[in-house]
Amino acid sequence: MSDRLDRYASVLLEVGVRLQPGQRLAVNADLQHAPLARALAERAYRMGAHYVDIWYWDPYAKRSRIRHAPEDTLSATPDWLNRRYESLADAGDALVVITGDPEPDLLAGLDERRAGLDRMPAIASRYHAQRFALIAWTIAAYPTAQWAQTVFGTPDVERLWSYIEQFLYLDQPDPVAALQARMNQLRSRARQLTELNLDAVRFVGPGTDLTLGLIPGAHWSTSEQDGPHGHPVMVNMPTEEVFTTPDHRRVEGYVTSTKPLALNKTIVRDLRLTVTGGRITEVAAATGADVVRSQLTRDDGASRFGEVALVDDLSPIGRSGITFLDTLLDENATCHLAWGSGIPTVLTDWRDLTTERLEQRGINQSGTHVDFMVGGPEVTVTGIRRDGSTVELLRQEHWQLEQSR
């Protein structure tokens, strides 16, 4: 095993999921992610893991399913896989999801509507365990030659590695200390936004004028959250965002994505959504529109919003100027929104609330959660106070609340 992989695995387990002795570690990986999955297993057992369960996913089987399977079976998920996530949640175990899609446009040319019906491998039982903090989880990317080819036009995997190492501070003498210093900035920013007690956030830019009402009492958060055993976990690595969950009933306007979205093995380009009464009512895109439309019909909450996240020009991912066609990286390059499930942990009393009470408070309920990028230098983000006055939050991607920079 290379020192690079061991160093990466160490940071993911020690900072990402805070793996504890006796915990089980589950790893989700594409076949090409095997070197990192093996490094995680090696490091996890050295840390005292009870068992390491690696599940390899082959997207070519998904392509065959979409081509040939009966349509009424495309939304089905295996019982054993649902039981896997339920078992992890029951025990408060750990999960590392490895991203870095070698072929993000693998389903190009297939029926987009059918492709949108199949959510494997990101299924509702996994989202449930994650959003309710029932597991210690994180998502991280692994560079491959095919992914580099897609991004750079050449299989320069070393260049891709150099970016990952930079974004995670793995090139620093003490990556954990460097990461914590950045997290301190983001925590300060989240506290400041919470203290503003905003009623809504408005995005305005080319093809965008969208207002998202916020939930009274909901706080802004970073990707550092309490895990199932009280240990803080970092659910995105890298992370550059501060986020909250909007009131899904109070979203109005229209929004245009500022980056391509790699969704379900299809690249969605120039996505534009119209929102009325909190629900997405119109979808347009240069490519991938039917994939999005199928996603939005998965359940009643799929066409409503579950997240609003702010990212400024200090993000090293954004400063790279590269679209990675990987949601983990692209969403931490600029501001983003998500349709689908809300994040209940933004409410202080979320553990005491039933699903029905969360819904009443405005937390959207859905078996899907899809982030898409809406920020950029031409997009202004404004906070609207409860008295109707406004405060600029981002202009030309520059944070306007100076004391939190």
Higher pLDDT, 118 or 47: 47
pLDDT single digits (tens) 20-34: 999 999 999 999 999
pLDDT at 180: 87
Band of residue 404 on the pLDDT scale cut at 50, 70, 90: very low
Burial 158-170 (b: 16+ CB within 10 A, else e): eebbebbbbbbbb
Mean pLDDT over 118-125 rounds to 88
pLDDT at 1: 66
Which range of 1-15, 105-119, 369-383 scores highest in mean pLDDT? It is 369-383
Q: Is 118 in contact with 162 (CB distance < 8 Å)?
A: no
What are the two backbone dihedrals, phi and then psi, of residue 264, each rounded to the nearest 5 degrees?
55, 40
Of residues 354, 347, 360, 356, the one with CA closest to residue 249: 360
Q: Which contiguous run of DSSP H or E holds residue 201? A: strand 200-205
pLDDT at 102: 86
pLDDT at 172: 86
Residue 48 has pLDDT above 70, yes or no: yes
Residue keyed to tokens 């078996």:
367
Of residues 186, 131, 189, the one with CA closest to residue 383: 189
Query: How buried is 388 (Cβ within 10 angstroms: 0-12 exposed, 13-18 middle, 19+ buried)?
Result: exposed
What percent of the chain stands above pLDDT 90?
Answer: 89
Q: Which contiguous run of DSSP H or E holds residue 249? A: strand 246-256
Q: How far is CA 336 from CA 83, 153, 234, 330, in A?
A: 31, 26, 18, 9
Q: Which contiguous run of DSSP H or E holds residue 213? A: strand 208-214
Residue 405 has pLDDT above 70, yes or no: no
Mean pLDDT over 273-287 rounds to 98
Mean pLDDT over 309-328 rounds to 96
Residue 396 has pLDDT above 50, yes or no: yes
Q: Where are the domains of the chain?
A: 3-167, 192-223+238-404
- As assigned by CATH, the class of the 3-167 domain is alpha beta
Mean pLDDT over 102-128 rounds to 90
pLDDT at 176: 83
DSSP of 349-386, one letter per residue?
TGGG--HHHHHHHT----S-EEEEE---TT-EEEEE-T
Residue 2 has pLDDT above 90, yes or no: no
Calculate the average pLDDT of the chain: 95
CA gap 138, 96 in Å, rounded: 5
Q: How far is CA 67 from CA 60, 101, 288, 297, 363, in A?
A: 11, 20, 16, 20, 36
Which range of 6-10, 104-108, 126-130, 371-375 scores highest in mean pLDDT? It is 371-375
Residue 361 has pLDDT above 50, yes or no: yes
Mean pLDDT over 123-131 rounds to 92
pLDDT at 201: 99
Mean pLDDT over 76-95 rounds to 96
Region of poorest pLDDT, from 58-62, 173-177, 232-236, 327-331:
173-177
pLDDT at 403: 52
Residue keyed to tokens 């066409």:
303
Structure-token pair, residue 181: 């210093």
CA gap 342, 340 in Å, rounded: 7
